[in-house]
Structure 1
Amino acid sequence: MDSLNITIPYEEPEWNSAPAWRLPGWAEPVMVASILIGSMLITRRHGYKLFGRRRRSQGLLDDDIDSARSSDDLLSRDYMIAGDDVSEDSMSTMKYPPKKRSCCGTILYTPNSSRFADHLHSRIMQKFPFLMEMFYWIITYAFYRCTSLTAQAIFSKTGIWDVAQDHGLAILEFEQFSWLSFLWPVREQEVQQWFMHGHQTFLTVLNRSYALIHIPGTVGFIAWWYYVAPSFNTFAIVRRTMTLTNLIAFSIFILYPCMPPRLLPREYGFLDSVGHNKAESVWMSGKYVNSLAAMPSMHFGYSFCIGCTMFYHSGLFRKTLEPGESRKSKPWQLFYALFAIAYPCWILITIVATANHYYLDACIAFFVAIIAFMCNRIFLVFLPLEDLLLWCLRIEKPIPTTGDRARRSGR
């Protein structure tokens, strides 16, 4: 690697841009919590009383339609039919028949948690169904927090820092000397140096964007999409795609630790502008934060998923709309379409200019997101486990409110 000309001579300019205002450590968690609580209130089920007995005569939450919705709109759930081990007549005498699940070609019967629908914690979930989405993302974040420890355990003998640095230099080598080098005519070092010489104020804006957009912005998007998506099916596809994108990326973080450009030795021409500008996010520090997780770029992976969702939401090039969805006005279509293009481009510029990712990180994130979209239904195999968990917690899964707002407004 030393024989390759991937280092560049440069003279670090004096950092004369005013430092970004550093947020106190509690500000970002409060920001995220505010987004989640606000979304929970906005997406609450109107007309549902938190206290009081439900009217069983209407079969609320007990009938097959609502119970199927509460588990997943994309999964067709039928109760046992004639020909099964248990007869249809015996099933008809059961007040809470088990759920019939199809998992990997096998039919499974799981406990029906609708009997717990009158429990207070179940009623809270029914009143605020967005709590279920918060639960999913807490699990995902917990997996991320484990990637650093797992990678360190795997590479404990060879030294994860040296391995990650070798991987980072290998990416630079590939970008500059492989047959695909024409895809990146401008080096990452040259992009950052352009901002460093005469455009430091703009770089300060990008530093703050990198720190603030990733977590609060993504959480805000999930909350917004839950509220405006035309159906829960459509929302669930995006949520599962982003979740699977996460899990694939986390696996790569563990097996291929990669040092971001900003942490490479200085002779390679990069500067940790976010740290230099004192614009670090609270999510970028801590014992369990994986600082050697440059490949792939989840900043770009998220932005690509968000951009695709925005373009779909615009309604452009869609001849038919979903049931209850109204055609948006031309200004709104244009707004969503332009945002769908501008947001990933902004993130790409941000991650390269701040030396947090390589071009190849964004390219791999692009393909990871595509694969995740094509395979997102794989998460349906976990529904039996979810049924068992809800049974153990004595909770009936809430009926989503997604789609209610879309049927009332075409915006």
Structure 2
Amino acid sequence: MDFIATNSTTLLQPPQWNSKPAWKLPGWGEPVMVAMILFTAMVLTRRRGYRVFGRPSSPYRSHLDIAPDSARPSDGLLTYYSNSGHNGEEDDFVRTTKHHRKKKYCSGISFDTPDTSRFANNMHSRMLQRFPFLIEMFYWTTNFLFYRMTSTLSQRMFASTGIWAVAQAHGLAVLEAEEFGWSSFLFPVREREVQQWFTRGHQDALSTLNRAYALIHIPGTVGFIAWYYYAAPSHSTFATVRRTMTLTNFLAFLTFIFYPCMPPRLLPAEYGFLDTVRHDDAQSVWMNGRYVNSLAAMPSMHFGYAFTIGCTLLYHSGNFCSPFEKKEIGQSGFWKLFFVVLGIGYPSLILTTVVATANHYFLDAVVATLFVLIAFACNETLCVFLPLENCLFWAIRAAKPVPTTGQRYGYGRSRRNELKSPVLVESHRTVSGQRFGVP
């Protein structure tokens, strides 16, 4: 990578940094912030009218007493069938099939899974039914654990050659591709030039970006998931976004393992980048520790999440919805403009932040965007894990809760139509034979 030393990419003098370190958020600040977001989301999305304690509702109540839409979004893209026949009497049908195994169909493949409805009145099952957002918390905890594994796996894979040297070579290769590759026209501005603009006369603004880099990624993404679970017009719409982000994660995690990439701030000083985040002591508590992957610049998941959130906000504005969901969202002109501005401004802010703080290259954001688009096109492939999820619920002796997303738009508004027992959800699915929304 001698090209760096012979052209304009090398600085004669490193950029100067004269600002005082910013105020450091206490180590407990971010966990408390995230916990408050999750707790608030649990309360706002709770199933109203459903009691965790007390005498459980009758499991044999007619499925007709349930709001038809309340069960719609729970296990989408699958059709539920019982192994038994239907004799035309719904109550008898529920009694005779409630403990039978279920067949689930996904992408033309049939899966025989246990019927977890028998566990509907277990205490922890009723807790999940009261607070269905707990399932989303489990999903994202699983994602976080997979991320934690990427550093260990990558280090073992490149143990013989030394992961630091490999990651540095990959980082320099990214700079070379941006400046001399076939796609160099996409990068008229260099990362170092962006950081220089801030370090030479706009250091207070850069201190703000350092803090934003540390605080927005985890709390901001968790806050978005919590908000959209509540605000989405249907669980089908929400789950598409959640699956897209999850699949983007796994594509990124594989890249982190097989293509470790050093961020600009960790390159040798002669390449002209400063680690302003560390100078400001603005590192996130979620991004420190033994299992954090500091050599995971490619792709930028900061921008990948921001791009997904931005697209979702543009969609939520109502300007790009289907006619059906426009009626459900019913945004006023002010809120349409608000979501459009936020949908464009948020990814732009994050892109500026990750580049100005020398945590990512422009190419990282481009690859993250491609991963998001691929994940969105293929997001339904994650439905193949539904049988495994059902087996997990069987193992913990719990019935899968019905999501409450969309209830503020009319689903289950009347208390007499709210869900009385998770058993009814299974019977309603089996009797009606509907194809529901998404998992």
Counterpart of 1:405 (choices 405, 408, 421) is 408
Matched-pair contact (CA < 8 Å) for 1:152–1:160: yes
| Offset from partner CA, 1:79-99 (integer Å, 9 cap, x none) | 34769xxxxx99983332322
Q: Structure 1 residues 326 and 248 mapped into 2: Cα distance closer, same or farther (>3 Å)?
A: closer
The alpha carbon displacement at 1:371 in A equals 0.2
Equivalent pair of 1:230/1:324 in contact (CA under 8 Å): no
Q: Which residue in 1 is equivalent to 2:294?
A: 291
TM-score by structure 2 length? 0.87
Report the counterpart of residue 284 of structure 2 in structure 1: 281
**1:118 maps to what in 2?**
121
Q: What pairs with 1:12-411 in structure 2 (closer than 5 Å)?
A: 12-52=14-54, 53-59=56-62, 69=72, 71-80=74-83, 93-103=96-106, 105-318=108-321, 320-322=323-325, 325-407=328-410
SS at match of 1:108: strand
Deviation for aligned residue 1:352 = 0.4
Aligned partner of 2:425 in structure 1 is none
Provide, for residues 37-95 of structure 1, a one-character-per-residue CA deviation record: whole Å limited to 9, x for no partner: 11111111111011121133425799997996474134332334769xxxxx9998333
Asked if residue 2 in structure 1 is aligned to residue 2 in structure 2, the reply is yes
SS at match of 1:102: strand
Structure 1 residue runs without a partner (length 5+)? 84-88
Distance 1:61 1:239 in 2: 30
SS class of match (2:110): strand
Normalising by structure 1, report the TM-score: 0.92
Q: Let me know the Cα RMSD of the aligned residues.
A: 2.4
Q: CA deviation at 1:304?
A: 0.5
1:54 to 1:161, Cα distance in 2 relative to 1, 3 A = same
Identity over aligned residues, as a percent?
59
Structure 1 counterpart of 2:217, one-letter code: H
Gaps of 5+ in 2: 87-91, 412-439
Relative to structure 1, the CA distance from residue 378 to residue 64 in structure 2 (aligned partners, 3 Å threshold; closer, same or farther) is: farther
Aligned residues: 403
- CA distance in 2 between partners of 1:182 and 1:280 (Å): 33
1:268 to partner: Cα distance: 0.6
Aligned residue identity for 2:10? I
Whether the 8 Å CA contact 1:66–1:399 is kept in 2: the answer is no
Q: Deviations over 1:334-382 (max 9, x none)?
A: 0001111001111100000000000000000000000000000011111
Secondary structure class of the residue paired with 1:58: coil
Whole-Å separation in 2 of the counterparts to 1:15 and 1:126: 53
Matched residues in 1 for 2:389 and 2:59: separation?
A: 25
What amino acid does structure 2 have at the position aligned with 1:2?
D
Q: 1:258/1:365 Cα in 2 relative to 1: closer, same or farther (>3 Å)?
A: same
Secondary structure of the 2:80 match is coil
Q: Which has the higher contact order (CA 8 A, sep 6+)?
A: 2
23-32 vs 232-241, greater mean Cα deviation: 23-32
Secondary structure of 1:16's aligned partner: coil
Structure-2 separation of matches of 1:348 and 1:307: 12
Question: Amino acid of the residue matched to residue 347 of structure 1?
Answer: I
Number of the residue aligned with 1:86: none
Amino acid at match of 1:291: S
Q: In structure 1, what is the Cα distance between the partners aligned to 2:52 and 2:177?
A: 59
Which is further off, 174-183 or 239-248? 174-183
